[in-house]
């Protein structure tokens, strides 16, 4: 059986450093008899576009059986938001720093990508978050996140005040630098640096991580993944809400932010040998020493 006949290639817009790897991937895939398409933004990164097929970023997921993202985790986050509705599986090739989501190194390209083309891969389904901002009963905007939705102070150095509700139940009123609402995927990103727990990718849960709270008793909370999170802004200092580090929406006192599970999921492809805990050991510097008898 032949897997993934039509394959899309995507890189982060403006990141010309990934051009060589994109061309390497293109040559390898075409050598394997696959049809390769670039989205228009990615094609603009290449030195020559005479011999490539292009389509819009919005159409790439519909036109392809697989999309390969070349870049760091940020590039894959960008792709996830663009491809959320198409249900197209995504594979990441790491040209960034940490690479929790982009777990194929350029040096492993032919070996790992060849295995995937032969059908030797694992698939994760990662849920995403939708965030909606409401003011005086009107929806100002919505946003989509694979990692996290963050209420934060923007460029100011003042604390903000807000109230948190989970499934309509009041949790607390807090003064802090903000609040991170993360998926299991996002639990190893910004939420981790804020002292949040690591959530296994298969968990149906969200983490709520306060940022530098003005109290010693505020701790991260893990809630059911189907929960509706409501945040009411009380501070006169205008905070901002952002999804996956995007610019987001400025807020004012009285605004509500609603965070819920998005109906679409990201289908994330892993080559053979992928291990979540091994990734944690490698990326987070956990000890890899196995004492004698520990594996007995």
Phi, psi (degrees; rounded to nearest 5) at 34: -90, 150
> What is the signed CA dihedral for 183, 184, 185, 191, rounded to 10 degrees?
70
Question: Catalytic: which of 39, 41, 73, 148?
Answer: 73
For β-strands 205-211 and 221-224, DSSP reports them as antiparallel
Query: Cα angle at 96 between 271 and 23, to 5 degrees?
Result: 70
Whether 73 sits among the annotated catalytic residues: the reply is: yes
Q: How far apart are CA 9 and CA 97, in angstroms?
A: 20
Q: How far apart are CA 39 and CA 274, in angstroms?
A: 28
| Residue 87: both structure tokens together | 């249900």
Query: Cα angle at 227 between 198 and 85, to 5 degrees?
Result: 85
Active-site residues, by number, are 73
């Amino acid at each position: 059986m032949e897997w993934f006949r039509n394959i899309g290639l995507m890189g982060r817009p403006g990141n010309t450093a990934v051009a060589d790897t994109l061309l390497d991937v293109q040559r390898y895939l075409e050598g394997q008899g696959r049809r390769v398409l670039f989205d228009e933004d990615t094609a603009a990164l290449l030195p020559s576009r005479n011999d490539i097929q292009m389509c819009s970023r919005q159409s790439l997921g519909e036109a392809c059986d697989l999309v390969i993202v070349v870049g760091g985790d940020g590039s894959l986050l960008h792709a996830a938001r663009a491809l959320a509705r198409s249900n197209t599986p995504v594979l990441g090739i790491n040209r960034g720093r940490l690479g929790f989501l982009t777990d194929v190194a350029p040096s492993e390209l032919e070996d790992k990508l060849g295995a995937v083309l032969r059908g030797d891969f694992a698939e994760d389904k990662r849920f995403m978050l939708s965030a909606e901002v409401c003011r005086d009963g009107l929806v100002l905007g919505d946003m989509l996140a694979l990692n996290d939705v963050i209420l934060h102070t923007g460029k100011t150095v003042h604390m903000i005040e807000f109230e948190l509700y989970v499934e309509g139940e009041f949790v607390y009123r807090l003064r802090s630098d903000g609040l991170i609402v993360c998926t299991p995927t996002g639990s190893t990103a910004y939420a981790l640096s804020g002292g949040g727990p690591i959530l296994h990718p298969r968990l149906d849960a969200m983490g709520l991580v306060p940022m530098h709270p003005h109290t010693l008793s505020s701790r991260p909370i893990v809630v059911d993944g189907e929960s509706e999170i409501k945040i009411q802004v009380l501070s006169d200092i205008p905070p901002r809400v952002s999804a996956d580090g995007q610019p987001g929406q400025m807020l004012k006192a009285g605004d509500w932010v609603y965070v819920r599970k998005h109906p679409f999921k990201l289908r994330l492809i892993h080559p053979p040998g992928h291990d979540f805990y091994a990734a944690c050991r490698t990326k987070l510097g956990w000890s890899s020493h196995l004492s004698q008898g520990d594996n007995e």
